[in-house]
Structure 1
Amino acid sequence: MPVSKSKWLWSGICLLCAFANISTAQNLEQLGWKKGVKVSGSVSANTILYSASEMKGRRDPFNWSVNGNLNISLFGYDAPFSFSYSNQQRSFSQPFNTLSFTPQYKWVKAYLGYTAMSFSNYTLAGHMFLGAGVELTPGKWRLAAMYGRLKKEVPFNVSDSQQQAEPAFRRMGYGVKAGYGDERGSIDISIFAAKDDKNSLLYIPKDALLYPQENVAVSIAGKKTFLRHFFVDVEYAVSMLNKDIRADTGKPATGGANLFKGLLKGSPGTRYYDAVNAGIGYNGAFYSLQLRYERIAPDYQTLGAYYFNNDMRNITIAPTLRLMHGRLSLAGNIGMQTNNLDSSKAHTNKRFVGSANATFVPSDNWNFNLNYSNFTSHTRARPLNDPFFQNPYDTLNFYQVNNNVTGMVNYLFGSRERRHSIMMNVSYQRASDNSAGNDKIQLSDYYTGNLGYNYMLTPLDLTLGTSFNYYDTRISGVKSIYWGPGITAGKLWWHKTINTSFVTTYNQTKSSGEQTVSSKVSSTRLSIGYMPKPRPKDKDSRKITSRHNLGMSVSYLKQFGTLQLPAGFSELTTTMNYTLSF
């Protein structure tokens, strides 16, 4: 009878615990090892119970997960190992349970299992894969390589009309990176390639918008510091993307000049895109100035990243200033962002970006922070049916202005035994929309205020706190107010091995427009944790010391019924967790 994954998992956990106990009983000095073996890590188990009344549950009634991290150090050789397993695997089309192993020895580092690597923002940028990778950093050299599965095949489910599990082809990828240099100057070259297996899905509906893709992305980056304070950096990338490798091979479509067309077999579906990111600046003793330029071609995409912004050109300048021995810091950022670089869209958007930040710390008791940002967008749209027709009513000028101001004040006072802190945050945001030919301006205003007070009584290990939150939103004649107080309390017991906390909040929401709607919600959470102190180890011993952490929390949420929403409901969530650290 085959052994289930759960049995293998629990067997592995027992083996790790047994290894920790055996290692605890060993004194490596007696074995004649000078440096010995160092083992560290943790294993945790979590369980969540959930129930709801007067409504359908918003989550599964029972969830559990097991996570582990282990690092073995032997004569300078580090071998980290991690895993994650949960019953939520059944709800995900791509792998949720992971197993990774990242050993390292001096300047050699390996990636095994479910892992992620990054070469460049325009090639391989942190995409998870199942496979192997290596990084070598001898001296000023930087070498890296990877190979693995980026996506698992997910077949079409004909019985699932909503297709909750998103279908996907199996996608394999590989890449290499080479670089040389240090902080004063360096150059890096990276190449990443990925391809879908068009035969990994046996059935594809005719109306499905799913196509097997192939991608090769190349990046060249360099930076240099000169005259001690000046610096310059530049990166240029080309991405060759075939959005349907099932198309017949033929003359590739053009997509701009580049030097790397030979790396991808030409076909009618192949497109070439490029991106450039450059900057120059000065870093002084108390001020700095930086000018940056970034251009990403329309439809630029790499299969080595989950999400990518494209069709934009950014030009920004960012000054900073430090005064009063660093107690006062001023920073700004001003720039312009433009899209529709190839004039293929029906509208062009120009966006002004400006922000300023000031931080002032006059003493150890006071802290002030003020932030302002202004984002202005100008969209000019042309008629789709006749772009050469100059009737002013067929051209739309659309303006958007977004102003945001945020302020924070923090005050600390009291003695070492009795500490007080008061914190206040306020913010205001206004968004306005205006179209040419229309005198009416649509405004949206957002007000936010938070006030909090904390009191810490150190001799009793007691912490008390209270807070008040206020939100006011006004959009198109509809006003919504959200407010409510909160109380927190925390206490350490039994030589600080038991930690208890209590949090309760009450929030009321009221919206007024054509109809007035209000709601009242209260939330309470009680938590308790137990973490015994580890036994002190002998000075001449190299035993592994372990720490246990056992915790439990109960949360209760109640929404009261009102005249507009008579059906109230309640939710009860219980969380239990155990962590073994060694």
Structure 2
Amino acid sequence: MNWIKTKNKMITLYPEKVFTQLILFTGIVFLLSPLSGYAQQMDLNNIKNTFSQKPFRLGGGISASSVLYTGNDGQGRQPFTYFLSGNINLNIYNQVNLPFTFNITNLGNNFTYPTLPNRLSIHPTYKWVTGHIGDVSMNFSPYTFNGHMFRGIGIDLTPEGKWKFSAMAGRLQKAVEYDSANRLVPAAYQRMGYSAKIRYDQAGYYAGMTFFSAKDDVSSLKWKPDSLNILPKGNVAMSWEGGLKLIPNLSLTGEYALSLLTRDIRSPQEGSSFINNLFPRHTSTQSYTALKGELTYQLLKNTMGIRYERIDPDYATLGAYYFNNDYENVTLNYARPFLKDKITVALSWGAQRDDLNKNQEQTSKRFVSSANVSYTPNEKLNSSFSYSSFQTYLNLKSQFDYINGQTPYDNLDTLNFTQLSQNMSLNSNYNFGKSDIRKHNLNVNMSFQQAADKQGDIIKPGNLSQFYNLSTAYNLIFVPQAISIQTAFNATYNYINSTNSVILGPTLGIRAKVYQKKITTGISSAYNVSINESDTQGKVLNLRWNAAYAFYKKHNLNANTIWQNRKISGKNTTDSFTATIAYSYSF
């Protein structure tokens, strides 16, 4: 028995008891973890409080429902279906959850239970130290090590002060032998890696660096899948980031990354100097760079910024699953409030181009612009408007056309292809009425979308599509009676492939709380008409009813019905009726 003296009191520790509990807890964590991606975070600061709690807690719920269906709409549904489902969760020391679930229907049943985990992660925390053990992922830099799952250990050190540090080491990829009977799972070498990140933050600036290294184990596979172009790879990637306040309200941030990617580590190594041993270069090693920077300036209430990003063609690292590369971006941003902050305007414009080395069969340029305006003159009214435009310009470098062209001006239009897209929406919401007696709400939403393909300066027939939508809704609430009435109207116009169609119809519903406001019930009806090229294609009428009742706090009873009548041109009129009743209990 040991004693620890603090400023206020003497704490008595029984090491044999704590040790026994810790061993028991650790064993439970590893042996009874659920199958699907299990992860737990343990706060060692409160480990004494953890073991002072109840060791086991049981919770969960059960639900039962049945569906009755009848109709002649040809859906082939079962006339009667029942469902019984439940879940039970066993909680151990408020740290480990073991879920059990079951589902039973007249169509089949399913039962799941915890088994030994295929993925397990534990994240112990003590003050400013956080550990990562097992199957985890960490994010250091978007250009070096970013979100890649690994099996190993990691650590985050975030003490009070200016320095921050993170590190990881483990297996990034397990070995998989080639199996001709299973082509869906490709062969893979075992890949080990490690990474570290350090950052220094000061009031007027910050600086950081990330280092990542990974290498495949050539001996991890018995059969070498070289014929499948699966080669043992190696990679060293580094990035440097920083930020600086140049003058008041003017800040500059940026990051530069370098990746040395070896396509086959069995290829001859170049040189034997100290630098080459630290950063091995082989004949199959290629270097790639990535760069991004952002300049932001605030003047009074104006916020302006410019962002630049460039990533080399084929840029990649073994610390990320996927990379966008071979592009250059420039983005301009501006935002400002007006009229005593009642109006807010945000503007953005960007340009992107690819084929940086001019060696691809096609090159593209993209232009993106957007505008967002919000208007809130008072608490009753708020409106918003947004507009965005996307334009992609493609130049197809057809070698056949270039070789057979008689003049440099042949096929200029046919080699240029432009995709245009526009989106616009307007939303307005207005609340009025006496809040303690009646409440009124009116909402109007309009949207427009257009897409077109242009070859040269001509938009060909069939390559233009337009979509218009208008929806309005009015809601009246009688506050003392807990009754609400809703009415809405929706209209949609589509123009696709030189044909136009319209869908429109109203909706009406009422909702109320009855029997001392213990039961919530409502009924609604919707009617829609579809018109194609001035011909009525279909009419659909829906009638819905629903009710919900909660009793004894943990019991819930729900019921709903829907009747639908469909009249489709050229087909027989169909009717269908569906009723559902459900009960649920949670503990």
**What TM-score comes out, normalization by structure 1 length?**
0.69
Question: Is the 2:504–2:529 Cα contact (8 Å) retained in structure 1?
Answer: yes
Q: Is the Cα–Cα contact under 8 Å of residues 230 and 282 in structure 1 kept in the other structure?
A: yes
User: How far 1:46 moved relative to its partner?
Assistant: 8.6
1:210–1:507 Cα change, 3 Å:
farther
Q: Who is 1:256 aligned against?
A: none
Partner of 1:217: 237
The yes-or-no answer on 1:181 pairing with 2:221 is: no
Aligned position for 2:268? 250
Q: Deviations over 1:498-535 (max 9, x none)?
A: 8778887666666669x9976859696958585976xx
* 1:122 equivalenced with 2:143 (yes/no): yes
Query: In 1, Cα distance between the equivalents of 2:515 and 2:224?
Result: 63
Q: What percent identity do the matched residue pairs reach?
A: 28
Matched residue, 2:340: 325
Distance 1:419 1:399, change over 3 A: same
1:135 shift after superposition: 1.4
**Could you say which residue in structure 1 is the equivalent of 2:391?**
376
CA 1:209/1:87 → structure 2, altered by over 3 Å: closer, same or farther?
Answer: farther
Tell me, yes or no, if the aligned pair for 1:314 and 1:335 is still in contact at 8 Å.
Answer: yes
Cα distance in structure 2, aligned partners of 1:574 and 1:216: 61
Match among 168, 171, 178 for residue 146 of structure 1: 168
Label 1:225 to 1:579 Cα distance change in 2 as closer, same or farther (>3 A).
farther
Amino acid across the alignment from 1:119: F
Gaps of 5+ in 2: 1-28, 35-39, 41-45, 104-109
**1:266 maps to which residue?**
282
Partner of 2:443: 423
Is contact 1:81-1:101 (8 Å) kept?
no
Counterparts of 1:153 and 1:179 in 2: how far apart (Å)? 34
Do 1:65 and 1:86's aligned partners in 2 also have CA atoms closer than 8 Å? yes
Give matches, 1:396-435, under 5 Å.
396-417=415-436, 418-435=438-455
Partners of 2:526 and 2:543 within 8 A in 1: yes
Partner of 1:347: 362
Q: Contact 1:195 / 1:213 at 8 angstroms: preserved in 2? A: yes
Determine the structure 1 residue equivalent to 2:154.
133
Normalised to the residue count of structure 2, the TM-score between the two structures is 0.69
Q: What does the per-residue CA deviation read over 1:553-577, in whole Å, with 9 as the maximum and x for residues that have no partner?
A: 8797979584568899999999987
Worse overlay, 203-212 or 306-315: 203-212
CA displacement 1:351-388 (0-9 Å, x = unmatched): 22211111111111111111112222222222235867
Shift of 1:228: 2.2
1:392 to 409, 419, 426: 409
- Aligned-residue Cα RMSD (Å) equals 5.3
The CA distance in 2 between the partners of 1:84 and 1:211, in whole Å, is 42
Q: Distance in 1 between matches of 2:363 and 2:214?
A: 32
* Counterpart for residue 19 of structure 1: none
| Alignment partners' CA distance in 1, 2:206 and 2:334 | 25
Tell me how far apart the structure 1 counterparts of residues 334 and 319 of structure 2 sit (CA, whole Å): 33
Amino acid at match of 1:429: Q
- 3-state secondary structure, aligned to 2:410: helix
Query: Using the alignment, how far apart are the partners of 1:367 and 1:145 within structure 2?
Result: 48
Deviates most, 322-331 or 571-580: 571-580
Determine whether 1:473 maps to 2:494. yes
- 453 and 260 in structure 1: CA distance in 2 versus 1, 3 angstrom threshold: farther
Task: Tell me by how many angstroms 1:301 deviates.
Answer: 2.9
What is the Cα deviation at residue 279 of structure 1? Answer: 0.9
Aligned equivalent of 1:235: 255
Deviation at 1:433, TM superposition (A): 1.8
Query: How much has 1:101 moved relative to structure 2?
Result: 3.9
Q: Is the 8 A contact 2:367 2:391 kept in 1?
A: yes
Separation (CA, whole Å) in 1 of partners of 2:221 and 2:580 = 40
Residues 338 and 251 (structure 1 numbering): CA distance in 2 closer, same or farther, change over 3 Å? farther
Higher-Rg member (1/2): 2
Q: Within 2, Cα distance between the matches of 1:427 and 1:187?
A: 45
Aligned to 2:382: 367
Maintained 8 Å contact 2:150/2:172: yes
Q: How does 1:194-209 map to 2 (within 5 A)?
A: 194=214
Q: Show CA shifts across 1:79-99 (max 9, x none).
A: 9767778899999xxx99865
Deviation by residue 1:323-347 (Cα, 9 ceiling, x = unmatched): 2221111111122111111112112
User: What is the aligned partner in structure 1 of residue 8 from structure 2?
Assistant: none
Shift, 1:272, TM fit: 2.7
AA at the equivalent of 1:176: A
Matched residue type, 2:493: D
C-alpha distance in 1, partners of 2:511/2:326? 51
Shift of 1:402: 1.8
Which digits, 9 at most, give the CA deviation of each residue in 1:455-493, with x for residues without a partner?
444445555544444433222213344455556776678
Would you say the 8 A contact 1:194–1:216 is kept in 2?
Answer: yes
In 2, Cα distance between equivalents of 1:332 and 1:509: 38
